[in-house]
Amino acid sequence: MTYGIPFASSLVFRSGIPLAEQGCMDLRRAASVTKIIAAVLSSLWVAGCAGVSAVPPDLKDKIEREISFLQVKASPHSYRGKFIVIGGTVLAVRPLKQNGTQIEVLQLPLASDYEPQGRLTDSHGRFLAFHKEFLDPATIPTGTRVTVVGEVTGSTTLMLDEVEYAYPTIDIASLTIWPPKLPAFWFHPYPYFGAYWGPYWGPYWGPPHWSPYGLRRR
């Protein structure tokens, strides 16, 4: 939503103050209010995200951080049984007949907090993550960013359009679903002022997190 404040160039007086000057005062006041709101929302975001790590404490010692996705992709069976942290953006979610769920993910680099980052062109490929319980595809729509802590189980070859594609496969031990990234504030050139807050803020201040104890949001 964009908030516009009209600005008058002519000297029209209201309550003894030129309207042009009043416009400047309103502009400064609106900018001040927006800064305060942004600071409050930022503090809430940090507080919410600080509650849960994408890597649960009981899995930290199992993870082999030196293993990269490129290594697993090149030789998935060589890393079978290894625990890794991997993330990206969801391409598809498919419930399985065996009461599990298959999540197809486009790999992306991870930030220091294991949140997927970068552009889609930074990806080194796709992988399949398997959850042993049913997950409704509507709760993890295409484009959702996820971080998976899990065990490498090998690979499976499926058709990708008209070509065969070898997907590294991961059994999920922990799944973190990140909220959509909020766009940075932007401003209209003077004399209009605006801020974009959307399109969605969402009902949560942090990502949901699945572990063997259940899916929870942070």
Going by pLDDT thresholds of 50, 70 and 90, the confidence category of residue 98 is: confident
Domain boundaries, the chain: 13-50+181-217, 57-178
Query: Cβ(87)–Cβ(79) under 8 Å?
Result: no
The larger pLDDT score, comparing residue 168 to residue 52, is at 168
Q: Does domain 57-178 have CATH number 2.40.50.140?
A: yes
What pLDDT, on the 0 to 100 scale, is given for residue 207? 54
Q: Please write the tens of the pLDDT for every residue from 66-89.
A: 999 999 999 999 999 999 999 999
Q: Please write the tens of the pLDDT for every residue from 108-144.
A: 999 999 999 999 999 999 999 999 999 999 999 999 9
Whole-model pTM over 0.85: no
- In this predicted structure, the answer to whether residue 213 has a pLDDT above a threshold of 60 is no
DSSP letters spanning the chain: ---------S--EETTEEHHHHHHHHHHHHHHHHHHHHHHHHHHHHHHHTS--SS-HHHHTTB-TT--HHHHHH-GGGGTT-EEEEEEEEEEEEE-TTS-EEEEEEE--B-TTS-B-S-GGG---EEEEEESS---GGGS-TT-EEEEEEEEEEEEEEEETTEEEEEEEEEEEEEEEEPPPPPPP--PSTT-------S---S-SS-EEEETTEEEE-
